[in-house]
Amino acid sequence: MHINDAVFLEDLCPKFRFRKWRKSIHRFTGKSCIYCGKPSESIDHVLPRSQGGLSTTENCVPACLSCNGDKSDENALYWYRRQKFYDPRRAMAIKAWLEGDLRLAIRLLQWANPNFKVSNKNYEKDDSEYKAA
Ligand SMILES: [Zn+2]
């Protein structure tokens, strides 16, 4: 697909934009669950949609299905503190993520997981773009 076609498609089709946004969220953490570090298979709303949580980058984190399902409608930080895989660096990363500081969040995740690799080097540039989504 040509780059210009992609931009055009995105304008035409919000679903396409949404898929791209989801992908970018997984890229921020190198496709790993923000809570436990396993492969992220889903997007978790930190503040659940049932409690008014929005589908913004700040409120959506990559999560594996097990964390996402287990957390359910709970407050993410309270839930996370009770988990066996609790890591204070990850908790700080989640907080930073919620505050929209993806740069700090990613640095903390890297610290928590030395194998973690960021494939998307443009996250700073992309950040403002996705906030509007
Ligand atoms: Zn997980």
Render each residue's pLDDT in the chain as its tens digit; 133 residues. 455 555 566 666 778 888 899 999 999 999 999 999 999 999 999 988 888 999 999 999 999 999 999 998 888 999 999 999 999 999 999 999 999 999 999 999 999 986 666 655 545 444 444 544 4
User: Residue 66, exposed/middle/buried by CB under 10 A (0-12, 13-18, 19+)?
Assistant: middle
Closest CA to 58 of 7, 21, 11: 21
Report how far ligand 1's centroid is from the alpha carbon of 16 (Å). Answer: 26
Neighbouring C-alpha atoms within 13 Å toward the C-beta of 41: 7
Report how far ligand 1's centroid is from the alpha carbon of 33 (Å). Answer: 5
48 with 73: CB under 8 angstroms? Answer: yes
pLDDT recorded at residue 124: 47
Report how far ligand 1's centroid is from the alpha carbon of 121 (Å). Answer: 23
What is the rounded CA–CA span in Å between residue 84 and residue 57?
26
pLDDT recorded at residue 48: 87
